[in-house]
Structure 1
Amino acid sequence: MEYAMRYRRADAFAKTNAKSWHEIEITPLDAVRRIQEENLVAQMAYLKENSPFYQDILAKAGVDFDDIRSIEDLQKLPYTYKTDIRESLAASKPFGLHLAADPKDVVQMQASSGTTGSPSYVALTESDVEMWNEMTARCFFANGVRPGDMVLHGFSLAKGFVGGIPVMQALQYMGAVDVPIGADGGADRLLRACADTRPRCVIGAPNFVLHLGEKAEEILGVKASELGVERIIVGGEPGGGIPAIRNRIEELWGAKCTEMLGGTDLGVAYWAECDAQDGMHMVSMDHIITELLDPETGNIIPFEEGAKGEMIYTAITRQASPVIRFRSGDFIEVLGTSCACGRTGPKIRCVGRTDDMLIVRGANVFPSAIHSIVNDMMPDTNGIMRVVADFDGHTTQGALKVIVERGIAYDPANDAALKSQLETRLRDALVFKADITIVAANTFEKPGAAKIALTLREFPDLP
């Protein structure tokens, strides 16, 4: 029997020295827009025929699918929220009322990490799987992975997480070889596999990759920088764009570190940082339309340098589980609109998630921003912190409690000075009052297969 899909794209190795994996990444934006709007019209026609979920939503909004012809026309439509998807999934398990393909055409299931609630189960047709592979390959290529590379898999391979099997599929698709250990295998097995296979690239969550680098000499008797790794690709949580974390990763591994960003509802990854290491480019503009929402005004704003807002996504080539105007919860800052690499997608940095944001005496505070400042104060700190949001909701009029690990060699007798320095830095940089508690290095559990939760809802019992 002959199958349409293959493990590896037939022309993968021909792309080794290309400027980008796909020409859309370096296409002028006016031409990109024409492609996007052609795909948008086709997607609307598909949903008109196949999606009772969106048929109902558009009918209630008083909008016809045929009215959506341009990117601006999308503003006629309501947003799709994560709660809408959860309710849809609960009403019709496992793939929800928003399934827009014949169940017989579903060939794969994936699941979100479930960090903001119950996991979302996502259906994929054969076409969807190939599209996910293509988008993710573009990201890895921009990040520095090349056909023929050996890639140590440091994301979790369990729980149906998109950092698992779909990442492996995308690497195979682009001609790379995945070393399928996974964060679930633990630091010892990962590092021994790294020593055995000598991969050119390592992929994983930034804090876990940093942890692996710190453990290498203890486990292997050699520094991580002696293992021959040239590229570290990180994603799945904030950190890759934090200079102190990135610099520490690069120092430990002797390798260049770049980051990627995605989300289960749209794909594995569709934003990726190039060698310039100056923000992540949107590399899949032919598959996804991205809008930038100013949460304070509720207006859609242009992707201009310095703009900040929440990412809104519309899938325009999706069959099984399409979403329209999906509010991602990712709060980003636009770092630039041009790059020496030639990619035309805007460059962004993910500041944090809107559902993680706390309001402290009227100031918007992202735990990842606090984490960045704590990292900047290494080695006086250990770079590890937790926010304690022991109040109802996301708003407090009091000082925000933050627990910070002191550096391994830092003298506890100087904790009062470190507390004062941290509180001053946080007040000056983020405009809120913090109440810092200094604790010993290695108080908190080291990174592993699960994402790190920077926010606690109760003050922990401390030694």
Structure 2
Amino acid sequence: MTPRESLKAQPLRYAAATPTEASKYYETTGTTGQPTPTPRLAEDTIWNTVSVAEAWRPLLGADERVVILLPSDIVPVADLISGVCEYLDLAHIRAYPFATGISGWDRLESMWRTFRPTTVFVAPGVALQFTRLLAQRGELGDLSSSVDRLMLLGEVNTAPFRDRLGRWWNAQAYDASYGSTETGTLAAACPHGGQHLLPAATYFELATPDGVVPLHDRGEHREGRLVVTPLNAHARPLLRLDTGDEVSIGTDCPCGSAAPRITVHGRSADALRVRGAPLSVRAVEEVVYGVTDATGYLLEVDGEGGYARLLLERGVGAGRDGEPEERRRVQDRSEELLGLRWDDVVHVNSLPANTKSGASQKSWKRSNIREVEVSR
């Protein structure tokens, strides 16, 4: 295998094209260390765009109006969605609300009333922030009325989160795609809400306790770290890259696709232990968005892993009378799912914006976890 750490330590050693020879140049955001230079040739971009567009074609109608609430600078995510829309001949606009001085929240709301988007590509954190803002202004009902689907990407998200967001917007929320700047897109959503690997674009293996094994289409459920060999990485060929992402693989999606269905649990390096209990993005968010009305959360932990407090951002218009019962549900569900009781669960009016910026902009550990000192 090629360790991800080796690629990040010497990224240009793996490049077959220099940044000056590339048709496009990107960098990872450096959420787990230094940014990784990523040159791409036209072949890289075209193959990736077409494979994703064809995977999404069953989801997107001919008359879609697409808004892309994802960053355009340095990282490729908004470029990819724009390329897909151009390939499928769909009207679209980029409007990343954290692009200071260009697409602020007021400008975004004004554009929305004119364009009336039907499909929204957005990071989960950005979706939360925008939803909360519109709800505070009493505009969520009006602006959500044109929206049929929310396509979430850029961060791990969970079924309870998608269900919650879908209810708020009266729309279907999908886990739109999975991949990275280094590898390109590895999986895409299907109409039934599953997410399927793109085996025509990448050769997939799993790193398991028994070693690295190929995927087999025998219907069984398998788990491990995803190992990938992109088949169309011309500027930087990669052989058996260990992504570090813990995943589950199955073939039981009702859409009938022959491609394996994947569930991404998050990067193994992002795992956190508190009093011996392992915490992951997916597990924590199953609790937060499964049993509360919170629009965000923050974990406060000490450096030794012996203390953990959970901060929950109050939902807009939520009364405080039900908060004691909500905290009890959080503790009970956390004990059941995580094997942990929090030292405290606290409701707050708002959380820092960096818990929401999202879309390859943040890592879970850096934005949703805060280290604190605790007096013993």
* Closer/same/farther in 2, CA of residues 293 and 456 from structure 1, 3 Å limit: same
1:387–1:456 contact (8 Å) kept in structure 2:
yes
Residues 314-362 of structure 1: CA deviation (Å, up to 9, x unaligned) = 112221112111111221223x304343321111221121111123444
For 1:248, the equivalent position in structure 2 comes to 164
User: For 2:320, which of 396, 399, 411 is the aligned residue?
Assistant: 411
Q: Secondary structure at the match of 1:136?
A: helix
**Structure 1 equivalent of residue 234 of structure 2:** 319
1:128 paired with 2:44, answer yes
Structure 1 residues 169 and 351: alpha-carbon distance in aligned structure 2, compared to 1, 3 A threshold: same
Counterparts in 2 of 1:97 and 1:281: CA distance versus 1, 3 Å: same
* Aligned position for 1:211: 129
Aligned partner of 2:337 among 429, 441, 449 = 429
CA distance in 2, matches of 1:220, 1:422: 28
Counterparts of residues 59-78 of structure 1 (less than 5 Å)? none
The answer as to whether partners of 1:192 and 1:220 remain within 8 angstroms in 2 is no
Question: For the residues of structure 1 that align with 2:373 and 2:109, how far apart are their CA atoms?
Answer: 31
Alpha-carbon distance in 2 for matches of 1:217, 1:410: 15
Alignment counterpart, residue 171 of structure 1, candidates 85, 109, 121 = 85
The aligned counterpart of 1:199 is: 117
SS in 1 for 2:371: coil
Q: Whole-Å Cα distance in 1 between the matches of residues 321 and 248 of structure 2?
A: 37
Residues of 2 paired with 1:460 and 1:418: CA distance? 26
Question: Is contact 2:265-2:281 (8 Å) kept?
Answer: no
Alignment partner, residue 391 of structure 1: 303
The structure showing larger relative contact order (alpha-carbon pairs under 8 Å, at least 6 residues apart) is: 2
How many Å separate the matches in 2 of 1:355 and 1:217?
35
TM-score scaled by length of structure 2: 0.85
Task: Please report the RMSD computed on the Cα atoms of aligned residues, expressed in angstroms.
Answer: 2.8
1:99 aligns with 2:15: yes
Asked whether 1:190 is paired with 2:112, we answer no
Q: Is 1:81–2:7 an aligned residue pair?
A: no
1:93 paired residue number: none
8 Å CA contact 1:152, 1:203 repeated in 2: yes
Does structure 2 conserve the Cα–Cα contact (< 8 Å) formed by 1:293 and 1:300? Answer: yes
Q: Distance in 2 between matches of 1:363 and 1:115?
A: 24
C-alpha change, 1:400 and 1:375, in structure 2 (3 Å) is same
Letter in 1 for 2:45: V
Higher relative strand content: 2
Higher helix share: 1
Please, which runs of 5 or more residues in structure 1 have no aligned partner?
Answer: 1-78, 90-95
**Is the 2:18–2:39 Cα contact (8 Å) retained in structure 1?**
no
2:246 aligned with 1:306: no
Q: Report the Cα offset of residue 374 of structure 1.
A: 1.3
Q: Amino acid of the residue matched to residue 267 of structure 2?
A: R
Output the CA distance in 1 between the equivalents of 2:373 and 2:111.
36
Name structure 2 gaps, 5 residues minimum.
none
CA distance in 2, matches of 1:404, 1:430: 17
TM-score of the superposition, structure 1-length normalised?
0.70
Distance 1:377 1:222, change over 3 A: closer
> Offset of 1:265 from its aligned partner?
1.0
Tell which structure's C-alpha radius of gyration is larger: 1
Matched to 1:459, the amino acid is V
Identity of counterpart residues, as a percentage? 22
**1:4-39 Cα distance to aligned partner (Å, 9 max, x none):** xxxxxxxxxxxxxxxxxxxxxxxxxxxxxxxxxxxx
Question: Does residue 442 of the first structure (1) align with residue 350 of the second (2)?
Answer: yes
